A and B are shown apart, each in its own frame.
Chain A
Amino acid sequence: EAQVTQNPRYLITVTGKKLTVTCSQNMNHEYMSWYRQDPGLGLRQIYYSMNVEVTDKGDVPEGYKVSRKEKRNFPLILESPSPNQTSLYFCASSRDRAYGYTFGSGTRLTVV
């Protein structure tokens, strides 16, 4: 089944403790992206990747890192999480940046 797999689904962590949210797709998509969703603000793009080893900042990149060493994986790294990063995070992939995205099921992160 074609899908984007995110892990974990839920995560509660403490301020400053580094964490990684994994994202993997099995569709051989070149384009991958991370979003955060907050009430009233819709989806905001954090980082995106056009292909392996090619990443770029979205609208809200501060406090986040990404890497794209393999085509299928696009992990999101929070080096020192803060409470304002409490949010619902989504990974998405597509064959092309301008076309229909396939989304993961989301990671609900709480930073206390």
Chain B
Amino acid sequence: SQQGEEDPQALSIQEGENATMNCSYKTSINNLQWYRQNSGRGLVHLILIRSNEREKHSGRLRVTLDTSKKSSSLLITASRAADTASYFCATVANNDMRFGAGTRLTVKP
């Protein structure tokens, strides 16, 4: 069963704009991870944020975590057409990882 729920389900933006995706979850977690999936391909691990961290950066990616609201956001800055993909959050609690249903991001050139 899913733990995280991504919002929005789909997002369409122009190249150069920023993209923000959100993930909400229900139970306490140890860490939260974000993955990218290009159409029909395997998921690629992007970033992991631990429950005691509030923000992490990796290149053009910025992830925040608010454990009081049980939510996380993934910001992709200066988006490119190559960022077009589905993005999934995965929550880890008691060594059990659960994936959300994903946000489909389309970046138009």
The verdict on B1 contacting chain A, using a C-beta distance below 8 Å, is yes
Query: A101, B43: Cβ atoms under 8 Å?
Result: yes
* Stretch from B17-25, B61-69, B75-83, B92-100 contacting the other chain: B92-100
Chain B 78-109 interface mask (CB, 8 Å, partner A; 1/0): 00000000001000100111011110000000
Query: B88, A43: Cβ atoms under 8 Å?
Result: yes
**Could you say which of B31, B41, B45 contacts A101, with CB atoms under 8 Å apart?**
B45
- A-to-B contact residues, CB < 8 Å: 4, 35, 40-43, 59, 88, 90, 92, 97-106, 108
Query: A42, B97: Cβ atoms under 8 Å?
Result: no
The verdict on B33 contacting chain A, using a C-beta distance below 8 Å, is yes
Query: A104, B99: Cβ atoms under 8 Å?
Result: no
**Could you say which of B42, B45, B96, B101 contacts A42, with CB atoms under 8 Å apart?**
B101
In this complex, the interface size class of chain B, counting residues with CB under 8 Å from chain A, is: 20 to 34
Number of residue pairs A-B, CB distance < 8 angstroms: 47
Chain B 28-43 interface mask (CB, 8 Å, partner A; 1/0): 0011010100001111
Besides A97-B96, A98-B92, A100-B33, 6 other CB < 8 A contacts?
A97-B95, A98-B97, A100-B48, A101-B45, A104-B42, A105-B42
The verdict on B44 contacting chain A, using a C-beta distance below 8 Å, is yes
Query: B88, A42: Cβ atoms under 8 Å?
Result: yes
B85 to chain A, nearest CB (A): 13
The verdict on B2 contacting chain A, using a C-beta distance below 8 Å, is yes
Complex: A92 Cα to B92 Cα, angstroms: 15
Query: A42, B100: Cβ atoms under 8 Å?
Result: yes
Chain A positions within 8 Å of B1 at CB level: 59
A102 to chain B, nearest CB (A): 7
Of the candidates A97, A100, A102, A105, the one having the most CB atoms from chain B within 10 angstroms of its own CB is A100
Chain B positions within 8 Å of A43 at CB level: 43, 88, 99
Task: Name the residue on A nearest B44 (C-beta).
Answer: A103
Complex: A102 Cα to B45 Cα, angstroms: 7
Task: Name the residue on A nearest B30 (C-beta).
Answer: A98
